[in-house]
Structure 1
Amino acid sequence: MNILMQIRLKLFLILIISYINNVRSCNFDTCGECISYAEEKCVWCAQDGITGPRCRSLKSLSATKEVGSSWCKPEYIQNPKFEMVVAEDKQFAENKNGSQVQIKPQVIKVKVRPGEPVDFTMHFKPAKDYPLDVYYLMDISYTMQTNLKDLKQQALKIYKDLSVYTNNVRLGIGSFVEKPGFPYVDPIRHTSHAFRNHISLTDNMKLFISTIENIKFGSNFDDREAGLDGLMQAMTCREEIQWREHARRIIIMSTDAPYHSAGDGKIVGAIKPHDMQCHLKNNKIPETEYKNLARQITGATFARLEGGDSVIKIIKQAYEELSNTIQIMHKAPPFVNVTIDQDCNSVPKKNCLVQHKKQLTINGTLVVKSCPKPSSKNKHIVTLNPYGLRENLRIELDIACECSCEKENGSIVPDICHGSGFIQCGICKCLPGRCGQCECQNGFSGNFCEFDDNSCPKPNNQLCFGHGRCIKGQCSCDIGYSEKDCSCKNDDKDCYAPYATEACSGKGKCICGACVCDTIKGKNETYSGVFCDSCDECAAARCTELQNYAYCNYIHKDNKAICDADQGSKVSNIIVEFMNKKEINGPKLFTAKWCKTELENKNGSYVVFRYQYVNHDLKIAIQEELESPPKANIWIAAGSAIGLVLLIGILTVIIWKILVDIHDKKEYKKFQDEALAAGYDVSQNPLYQDPSINFSNPVYNNQCIT
């Protein structure tokens, strides 16, 4: 056979295998199951009298050119078409009352099959003078007096600066101190509340400023404050605070203390979690911690109050981030996957920055992963909206999980379906209480005998690796085996090395009855060996596991059964052999690992043994001769110790002398420099004084007095 023929044969085999796999993937008995298979685009033939499977992969039909020809006439093929209609698309508009149109389209209707991607586009254009509600939530414990003073001085300026962005601004203020209960608060000595709404949202700045001026400070025992209590009430008490339905909302929480953690209110009987409801009656009710809290609340940011105009800067920055960026949120049924192209961390950024009065286009894709339960509604909704806005894009899904031919019931004809049913989608639909089923010839199965039970994988002329049966063209594996061809052994017995306690030596995973070794930490390599115990440090651990068994066999050389007793399968694959010192060092055990174990009451002597694997069997070679510890010469050891001590002593004295000389030299040099700086002549002693009377020696230099 020449090379060209070999290539053609390989291509032909590949096409056949691909065709068989595609047919199997669309292995369904009803039209609805066929068209709703998410992993493959399957089509159903409702034509009467065809042979073979009615559900086929559209890909396989296209490859074999059977669409609309030999397999099925086009008018009988059930292949629901994708449909997408924009049902509502109002133009961008602005209204001061809050009914702006900033998102378009508003409603999209889609008819789609499971597994079929739906690409959609939404447009966003920020409205001018969009309503803005800003609510201050202040910690009014005594330590916050300075911050409240800054707010009093800057309240009017804040209002004017925000009015530059939108002329539809309202401000409000609430406060918190601490949970009003012992041991946090002494009801007699302290004035405290978990939350109080001082003034609802208003555009009356005189009323707002006068309210701030009349706020009185509270106090409590502990460092933590009721910040989360106040924040929850500020968010949930919509009517009391008068949050507007169509408005951007900003809550500015200002505090210098950490908040209470979950469960620490049990001491005062606060054991129930918050019910997320407003509980206002008469308007009452540290840094890293708030950084973490901001990460947990969508759209929240953290900033430090620095005094001066810092409050204004924080508010302006928060509003600019809120109005100039967009984050799309979505809500979808659990069987629908939605992805939105808004990667704000990419370079350049996408779909994040919103320029003033400019339109932004956002793309997305949704995929129906599977058909919903029959009890669920026919229409399923996916909603998408920018964070902080009420407007949304509504996508209504009509999921094709039923063929059109299944919605029609044919008439009962005596000669068809034995008068006990009617033709539906090309097959008999039996009446209640009737069951029609084909009697298949040997080697075929399925409701219509359409599956060849010899078409499953057949290595070594064994269907399904000899570990299962071929049913409906697919392997039905025996207990203990899995995968499509039953080649995967689920039992991890073969992953345990003989006389080991962990599968794959604890350094790998047992997959299909064989070890897949892990990566060695800190190295760009993996463990190796049948049981993942081939590494530098692995041999020592394995020696420790085997030392008791080797020791037992050395003691009972002629009776291995004593050491094997009560060990079960742990020793079923162990071969023990005794060798002399020459043999155990020979080439026969070239790859074997060295081990030793100390004998009891043998003056430190130890047994030497080596181990290696032969396939999955463990071979242990034990040295017949004992090894004795080396005997040391005590005089040499004593002399060495004494000599070492003397040497250290001499070196210590020499080093001490050198260091003292160096120190004295430095001190003398320092003395000279200080004397010169003071104007002394260092050539003579500064304490020296010339004598007041001189006497000459008459005999000095042979001189005489006359």
Structure 2
Amino acid sequence: MLTILCQGVTITYKSICKNGVEGTGENGRKCSNISIGDEVSFKISIESQKCPSNGKPEVIKIKPLGFTEEVEVVLNFICDCQCAAEGEPDSDKCYEGHGTFECGACKCNDGRIGRLCECSKDEVRTEDLDANCRKDNGTDICSNNGDCVCGTCECKKRENPAEIYSRKYCECDNFNCDRSNNKLCGGHGRCDCRKCICDANYTGGACDCSLETATCLAKNGQICNGRGTCECGICKCTNPKFQGPTCEICPTCPGVCAEHKDCVQCRAFEAGEKKETCEHDCSYFQLIKVKDREKMPQPTDQSFPLTHCKERDANDCWFYYTYAIRNDTKEVYVVETLECPAGPDIIPIVAGVVAGIVLIGLALLLIWKLLMIIHDRREFAKFEKEKMNAKWDTGENPIYKSAVTTVVNPKYEGK
């Protein structure tokens, strides 16, 4: 709590924090561990040690840290004593003139008591009238919500006549109960002494919890489809796989991709079996297009169930999408471009065929050459073997005729 003080003014705090925990001194300036909807209050006492030199009113600003709202207190100092002036007998400022008004207060006539002399001594049994207006010694007179008149609290009236303080010490009211949807007690109960008294079939601190189970009935007639409990008219699914108002939706179960394929195809690419009835049949989810699969939600960084799908269309093109349910809203993230197979490349095909023919020809040629080498080696080996085994006759060849012819001269006598 931040306070801007003027010179000569001291201020003390008393905090009433969550669960009624009180703090004084430095602890009276703060409340810890509070959350939205918690109610805390501060009691502030301001004391002036001296009058300002200029005699003008001073302004104190009080505001909580972190907020722009502030409370502005205007201090008007009474520095001149008026008691020196003569009193005003039977003043109208005292109850029915039963006192003298002097020094800013009523001095009661005999037989009258009270701050404004409004009480008769014969009507009250105690001289400490304020004690009868306190619940205990630690509380304010009439809980600071009323005036003590002759020992009895008269509660303050509010601008709204429907809002009233009540009980003996004005400690109760009918307008400071919890709210839901900006309605007192959620519009399903009444406020009694700062506590909601709920109507039938409602419970909770702000009567915001319905005991009706009709909103939890699934199509099969079971409460929450038999997979959860109905709390305040809302299904709490016990199996985290199931989602939806009645625990009937399972985005991670098998068959989810096939179930939504046609609708995703018609809405994202204006194609598929439901192209003609797309607007009527496929408006049950929110379509979100992304540039690539990296932009799709991932299970590691999401707090809601989702299913990644990969489906093929009639043109053998693949499309990718993710089906998810977030806060009861069905969302489909679709990669905006199809992944289609590329057409045949003629050059590699022709080159492959030619290379195949050449390689096959070379292979056949090598095989033929190898067979010829093997055949020649076998024939040569056979020849060598026959050569080694051959036996030749040493006689003269009968068909051999010598080139030399001898002729005998009969008349030659050897002389």
Q: Does the pair score TM above 0.5? A: no
Q: Which has the higher helix share?
A: 1
Q: Which has the higher contact order (CA 8 A, sep 6+)?
A: 1
TM-score, structure 1 length as denominator?
0.20
TM-score by length of 2: 0.31
